[in-house]
């Protein structure tokens, strides 16, 4: 994975590009999925924090759906750990 931070506003917001890279065995070149833009926002909610993640600019609906599944898995794990 490769990306560049576009905005860092502690403790409210992170914005960064997201690009899958092929493995070094394949030359480490960017994958065909292209760059997307990820925005993560943090909102105080009582004694907790609401996290809102938006990712945009997908090359295809299939790529979008794979990321949706991956992010949901990450947040499910985070919820169990915390």
Domain ranges of the chain: 5-81
CATH topology of domain 5-81: Alpha-D-Glucose-1,6-Bisphosphate; Chain A, domain 4 (3.30.530)
Q: What is the pLDDT of residues 36-75, one digit of tens each?
A: 999 999 999 999 999 999 999 998 898 889 889 999 999 9
Residues with Cβ within 8 Å of residue 15, at least 6 apart in sequence: 5, 6, 7, 8, 37, 38, 39, 40
Q: What is the mean pLDDT of the chain?
A: 88
Answer whether the bond into residue 11 is a cis peptide, omega within 30°.
Answer: yes
């Amino acid at each position: 994975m490769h990306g560049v931070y576009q905005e860092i506003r502690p403790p409210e917001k992170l914005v960064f590009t997201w690009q899958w890279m092929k493995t070094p065995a394949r030359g480490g070149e960017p994958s065909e999925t292209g760059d997307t833009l990820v925005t993560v926002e943090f909102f105080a909610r009582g004694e907790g924090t609401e996290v809102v993640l938006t990712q945009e600019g997908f090359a295809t609906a299939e790529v979008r759906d794979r990321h949706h599944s991956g992010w949901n898995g990450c947040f499910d794990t985070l919820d169990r750990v915390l």
